[in-house]
Amino acid sequence: MNCATNPRSASALVLRTSGLLVMLLLLSFYGESPAVAQSGPIVWSPHTNLSNSPQASAHPAIVADDYGLVHVFWSEEVGGKPVTPGEGIRNTGNSIFYTRWDGQSWSAPLDILFVPHEVRAEWPVATIDAENKLHVLWESYTTVYYSSAPSWDADSAQNWSQPLLLTASSNSTPWGAGIAADVQGTLHVVYAAIGDEEGLNYTRSTDGGETWELPFRLYGPFAPSEEPPSMVQIVTDEAGRLHVVWQRNQVEGSGYGVYYARSTNGGETWDAPIQLADRDPEDFSVGTPYLIANGASELHLIYVDGAYTGSKGRFHRISRDGGASWGEPMLIIPELVGINGYVMPVLDGAGQMHLIANMRTEEEQAVGIYYARWLGTGWSPVTPIDVSIPQIHYTAVTVRLGNELHIVYNQLQGAEIWHIHGLVSQLTPQPTLALPTPTLPAQPTQTAAPTLSAVTLDIKTGAPPSPGETLSYQTTPLVFHPLVLAVVSALIIATGGITWKRLRSRW
């Protein structure tokens, strides 16, 4: 009996054929890999000005925790000259500011980190460990500092640890330091340095940031025509490997190479660095690498390549064996141009990869925040998220509860920090932990003697030291003469601009 004489068989054939056509259409739209997750559409919120201050605000960082809190940091020019209309960032922020989102509202911006003798606090980077402790790095002109706080208590300056000097030999390059925490709780830091530490250095802490090992040189010393690396980033994967990328720079400031190094044993030893992108003589710039790990073995790297004058689109390379080998570079998002900072892939709770690009359209020259979705073998066409704010740069992104994309970005003209978030539909939010009871801030007493902790860096020239050696710390009490206290008190009363709380938070 054939289909012509059996309506039920004919209907079955039609259904099977229709199902096959639908599957082929889906594969053609989403890519060849059916294993790629496809989350629902994203509903974007209005943007919000987080800094909203007369002074310059710059270079935001963002991270989310297991309590459902989103934490944002940036460099603020406290006490500086107000930014005039049309004026941009002056790169002279002296304090690290902080605000957080609890799912309903943002806390008031707070001045949390400041080193009295340093006039600059720039390029903050942040991570969070398995215990929901925040760890932050920032740069001065020649130094890199570290501090930490419980994420649930981070909204008080008194709950942040004493700023700790990790190196006195940095060169304050854009994103010249990076930090990551692995599943065992070990903190891993990389930073660019000059002088006796010249190169790209790695150090780690196995006790939550209390002590740090002597640095190990991953790359360096530099060629005569070379500047210290910038756009430094370190990430961990689910197999425990460490991955570092950075931009190599010429003296005139342009990038001329993207480099990568990895450790397969938690930082004990490192493979020799390899070059993943090179600048040709006619190119404008090669650099600005951004790396994410997807699971135990897959890595995605997005970077600028000079083959298209250093500004058109981005290049994307994938490793599917934990960084042992890399696929060929492919040009992505060619409809966008410009170098405004990182172009960042990020994973939601279902494993779907999203791309956040801070660029401009080639045709209309519309600067803004744009979005694309990973389809398995390529990215979807970009769609605008926010093109209403002029002069946007320095974007950062994180995921809250697995189904919310939170983006912060820097408005150069006016020097403000903005935020927008997108809800990924068809994804159930991940459960949150119950917030611990906040620690009550310690009350000031006249008998309390504040202390400063200084790091003694015993850096030897020549071959880099081996991992495993521990930095030594010296604690020096501050002794105040009664006459000094009287003078300080008089100055406070006279100026009215310095409060006991700010002084105590700085000590």
Which pLDDT belongs to residue 440? 58
Residue 232 lies in a domain: yes
- Both tokens of 64, joined, read 């989310």
Is it the case that residue 26 has pLDDT exceeding 60? no
Q: What's the CATH number where 382 sits? A: 2.120.10.10
pLDDT band at 285 (very low <50, low <70, confident <90, very high): confident
Which pLDDT belongs to residue 251? 82
Residue 504 lies in a domain: no
**Any residues with CB less than 8 A from the CB of 381 and at least 6 apart, and which?**
335, 372
Rounded-to-integer distance, Cα 503 and Cα 498, Å: 7
Rounded-to-integer distance, Cα 67 and Cα 442, Å: 24
Its pTM stands at 0.81
Tally of domains in the chain: 1
pLDDT band at 18 (very low <50, low <70, confident <90, very high): very low
Residue 154 lies in a domain: yes
Residue 487 lies in a domain: no
Residue 181 lies in a domain: yes
Is it the case that residue 69 has pLDDT exceeding 90? yes
Complete DSSP assignment for 114-181? --TT-S--EEEEEEE-TT-EEEEEEE-SS-EEEEEEEGGGTTSGGGSPPPEEEES-----TT-EEEEE
User: Do the beta carbons of residue 470 and residue 443 sit within 8 Å?
Assistant: no
pLDDT band at 308 (very low <50, low <70, confident <90, very high): low
Of 272-281, 302-311, 454-463, the range with the lowest mean pLDDT is 454-463
Residue 344 lies in a domain: yes
pLDDT band at 330 (very low <50, low <70, confident <90, very high): very high
pLDDT band at 40 (very low <50, low <70, confident <90, very high): confident
Residues spanned by the domain of 110: 42-424
Rounded-to-integer distance, Cα 299 and Cα 315, Å: 14
**What digits encode the pLDDT tens for the residues 202-238?**
999 999 999 999 999 999 999 888 999 999 999 999 9
**What digits encode the pLDDT tens for the residues 41-50?**
999 999 999 9
- Both tokens of 185, joined, read 């709780």
Residue 228 lies in a domain: yes
Residue 446 lies in a domain: no
